Amino acid sequence: MGKNINEIIEQAVNTGRLTKTDVVTLLSSSGEDAAALFAAADGVRKNQMGDDVHLRGLIEFSNYCERNCTYCGLRSSHKDLARYRMEEEEILAVAAAAVPLGYRTVVLQSGEDSYYDAQTVASIVHRLKKELGLVITLSLGERNRDEYKLWKDAGADRYLLKHETADADLYVALHPDMTWERRKQSLLTLRELGYQVGSGCMVGLPGQTLDALAEDLLFLQALDVEMAGIGPFVPNPHTPLAKAEGGTVEMTLKMIAVARLLLPKAHLPATTALGSIDKQGRQKALTSGANVVMPNITPNRYRRMYEIYPNKICLDDNPAHCRNCIGGIIASLGRHVADGPGHSPKDCFSGLAG
């Protein structure tokens, strides 16, 4: 006879190891069983990461993209989208304005935009570090090893590159001009260069099976990521997947909860995408294993143009308002905003300053 849900949860809490079949069983749970999963993940989060919630200020600095991912509103074939780029001084000013709001980390994110050559990005990273003392996460997509190395040497701490789906056939179907092999290689290169590596996946992609979702979690565990961003796929009307169904809140929460059991010391964000399909989405994630939020600190005038999916939250808000709002959410859960840099708690990153 197979194990029941409580036995599987107990094994995961005690050992951090599960078979694919066990992961699928957890992802199939509902009602009281799912509630037990969320409670166990919340307990592991509290034991391993405490009640601190780390804030990462997200700067969406360019919505130009040379790729054509079939799910994303920034894809190059979306010709009606007005495009923008922030120059170096503007990025510095946006980051500087985030410091008095209490941010210690900024995430620089964009489409894949070669307008920003390697030297320009290195200069931005260097200045953010030197002039503002910020911890830097980059999320610029796939670039080559020399570029990743230059940015690491310039002071970048972390790199966020979601694997999106570990189902190689689905990956190819969603990314007409990209390969699963290169995605994996990019993540291994980032790991080898000493970045704190963030990866992650979307939940509810068309054709994505429970087996594939279990593979996503086991892939993140095998890569031993320092951060795992797991959010629902939200269909965008301006993409080929306009009529697809999209991910559910429940399945996304189960994915986050199992991720917490498999990766007890990873940072897990309560994603904006989850907050966009459910007003309480981020609160639910924070009580199902998540311990990070990435509030938007992009100036208001650009936000509507970075609409990767519809009904994205905070489009009419500004950085100060979002910071206030998130502070309220965190306090309402009896948690507190972390005041440290929020590096990975793994031993190999424990000596980092900033």
The residue ranges that bind ligand SF4 (CB under 6 A) are: 65, 67, 69, 72, 74-75, 111-112, 141
75 binds, among ligand SF4, ligand SAM, ligand FES, none (CB under 5 to 8 A by kind): ligand SF4
Contact window for ligand FES (CB under 6 A) among 92-100, 108-116, 143-151, 320-328: 320-328
352 C-beta neighbours (distance < 10 Å), count: 12
DSSP 315-352: TT--HHHHHHHHHHHHHHTT-EE--S-----SGGGTT-
Which residue's structure tokens are 């099976």?
209
Between 74 and 241, name the residue whose CB sits nearer to ligand SF4: 74
- Closest by CA to 266, choosing from 208, 321, 223, 319, is 223
234 binds, among ligand SAM, ligand SF4, ligand FES, none (CB under 5 to 8 A by kind): ligand SAM
Distance CA 165, CA 205 (A): 9
- Among 321, 333, 339, 346, which residue interacts with ligand FES (rule: CB under 6 A)? 321
- Among 141, 295, 327, 342, which residue interacts with ligand FES (rule: CB under 6 A)? 295
Sheet holding 105-110, edge to edge: 57-62, 105-110, 135-139, 158-160, 196-203, 227-232
Question: Does the footprint of ligand FES cover residue 325 (CB under 6 A)?
Answer: yes
Distance CA 50, CA 203 (A): 26
Residues that bind ligand SAM (CB under 6 A): 71-72, 74, 109, 111-112, 139, 141, 161-162, 164, 202, 231, 233-234, 236, 273, 308-309
Helix (H, G, I), strand (E, B) or coil at 267: strand
Token code pair at residue 304: 């509507």
Between 38 and 233, name the residue whose CB sits nearer to ligand SAM: 233
* Least separation in angstroms between CB 293 and ligand FES: 8
Distance CA 133, CA 100 (A): 12
- Site residues (CB under 6 A) for ligand FES? 295, 313-314, 317, 321-322, 325-326
